[in-house]
Amino acid sequence: MLKNVTTVVLDGVHPFELGVVCEVFGLDRSDDGLPVHDFAVVSAEGSRLRTHAGFTLEVEQGLDRLADADLIVVPAGGNYVGRPYPEPLLTALRDAVVRGARVLSVCTGAFVLGAAGLLDGRRCTTHWRHADELARRHPLARVEPDVLYVDAGPVVTSAGTAAGIDACLHLVRQAYGHEVANTIARRMVVPPHRDGGQAQYIDRPLPRTRCDTVGDVLDWMERHLDREITVEQLAVRAHMSPRTFARRFQQETGTTPYRWLLRQRVLLAQELLEATDDTVDAIASRSGFGNAAALRHHFLRTLGTTPNAYRRTFRGPVRVA
């Protein structure tokens, strides 16, 4: 059971991520018949801390509070990437996992867990902008940049900002069941569960690297995404054999023609879902997938969500006829 919940803050903490934890675990909602936690915010670096937003916090309790916690949460901080962390905090986190407690990081809080050695050999995540750096600093960790959160036994890591809500509600759901988690979500006016992962939020069109020999072919492919395209056709346009073209394409773009084409088609489908009233079938045809079933398959595989769910999330004012 989840009774004692403690949040650890360092200098530079993000107020929103800290507030998420306080909102889920720190409020008394007994009037709705919801569980009440023994909740505390503790400091790892003195009683007065600056926040990333420019104001300060006065935190009365210290790290000794961690010894009894069932769950220890490390929210994000603006200067958490690559900075030194207090050794007593890292020791307390390791000890907590050994005695059976759980730890949760929100966004860049994962770097603190990594410094404590708690990500080694485990699946984990962080904000997509910092995923490569987390993997570089902790090569034994299995970083998954496309998910909202990862539950790896005693260690739970979540992606950026609002993904902390998803991870917190996940832990509530595990401890108390769906009804309690759904009631808290309604009180917070948030969905109890979001479709997909953070891949759908990543702004990452394929980089246009310098292409000495296949650049013109790339331009042609982008203009004809709705066509059936083969490597043989592309090789003819590049005046090469298919084998030579495939090798040169890999050298100059870092990927295969098929993967490059697939990602561009998904990007086009995203744009059309956001900006048009076209049906999913029509979008599938315009983006080169042929039919809605193929589009759903590749969309789900690439972004972790369906075209309809993506459209509901990101739909803006119609801009394209």
Query: Which positions are catalytic?
Result: 107
User: What is the β-pairing status of strands 38-43 and 149-152?
Assistant: unpaired
Cβ within 8 Å of residue 85, ≥6 positions away: 10, 44, 112, 115, 116
Per the listing, tokens 């867990």 go with 113
Helix (H) or strand (E) holding 151: strand 149-152
How far apart are the C-alpha atoms of 163 and 151, rounded to whole Å?
13
Amino acid at 304: G
Strand partners for 40: 6
- Determine phi and psi for 152, rounding to 5 degrees: -115, 65
Token digits of residue 287: 């983006």
With beta carbons less than 8 A apart as the criterion, state whether 262 and 299 touch: no
